[in-house]
Amino acid sequence: MFRDGLPVAERVFRNHALRKYRCRRRNVAFDTKGALRRIRHAVVGDDRVMEGVLGCTDGITIWIMEEAQTHSEIVSTLIHEACHNWCHVRGRPLSCRSEHICMMRVGERAAVCC
């Protein structure tokens, strides 16, 4: 998504932010470098990853569940977690609920926020 689908994802997140927060385009920003950095520095296995959740993030680090996952599940989880705190409105990230709404509009199946 951060390579090929970036314009589509940005449009979905931006449109959602403009409607929900009633702001101007210049108030919506994307931290793509930070998202890619979180992917590159993801950590496998940690107590922070709850049972039944494939991964979670605190906005700085991504933790991936240690149980066996397919390559596509790992990639999906990394992209999903990187989308958290990616879009900012007036310097603040979208709510977890808003992020999940946008991710589903981009084509991701429903997920649980940890």
Q: CB-based burial of residue 41 (10 Å sphere; 0-12 exposed, 13-18 middle, 19+ buried)?
A: exposed
In a domain, 53, yes or no: yes
Cα separation, 93 vs 78, whole angstroms? 18
* 47 pLDDT above the threshold of 70: no
Give the least confident one: 5-19, 46-60, 70-84.
46-60
pLDDT of residue 37: 96
Please indicate, yes or no, if residue 112 is contained in any of the structural domains. no
Each residue of 3-29: pLDDT tens digit?
Answer: 666 889 999 999 999 999 999 999 999
The whole-angstrom separation of Cα 16 and Cα 88 is 12
Token pair of 45 as six digits = 């296995």
pLDDT over 70 percentage in the chain: 85
Q: Flag whether 51 is in a domain.
A: yes
Let me know if residue 20 belongs to a domain.
Answer: yes
Residue 46 lies in a domain: yes
* Residue 70 belongs to some domain of the structure: yes
**Would you state the pLDDT for residue 109?**
72
Q: Does residue 50 register a pLDDT over 60?
A: yes
Query: Is pLDDT of 113 > 60?
Result: no
**In which residue are the tokens 């940890």 written?**
114
- Do the domain assignments include residue 28? yes
Number of domains in the chain: 1
pLDDT higher than threshold 60 for residue 114: no
In a domain? residue 1:
no
Report CA Rg, the chain.
Answer: 14
Angle in degrees, CA 91, 94, 98, rounded to 5: 165
Which residues constitute the domain of residue 59? 6-106
pLDDT tops 90 at residue 98: yes
Reading the block at residue 66, the tokens are 């240690």
